[in-house]
Amino acid sequence: MTSEHHAHSGPGFATPADAMRAPREEVVYVAALHTGTGVEEPDFLATVDVDPGSGTYGSIVARTPMPASATSCTTTAGRPAPARSTAASWSGAT
């Protein structure tokens, strides 16, 4: 089956086969959570270089701090936002 057989709009690919034919990703985004590590720093979104031909392959090339407030986070599921500043606390984890 090809994407011509499926209605598709928006980001992403219509089928896994379409994704496999696409160019390889050069970066990926990974949630870096410090929960349970003893590190007292805010969680962050890591941009990781996954281009094997790059000099920074396998390295974090950028960090974006996670918000310190969960007031707009939907994972609190109606509960009050916790006082902690880590993303894990947003979901009720301690």
pLDDT single digits (tens) 36-67: 899 888 899 999 999 999 999 999 999 999 87
What does the pLDDT average to over 13-28? 92
What mean pLDDT do residues 28-43 have? Answer: 90
State the Cα torsion 93-74-50-47 to the nearest 10°: -90
Residue 7 has a pLDDT of 66
SS3 per residue for the chain: CCHHHCCCCCCCCCCHHHHHHCCCCCEEEEEECCCCCCCCCCCEEEEEECCCCCCCCCCEEEEEECCCCCCCCHHHCCCCCCCCCCHHHHCCCC
Query: Is the distance from CB of 13 to CB of 22 less than 8 angstroms?
Result: yes
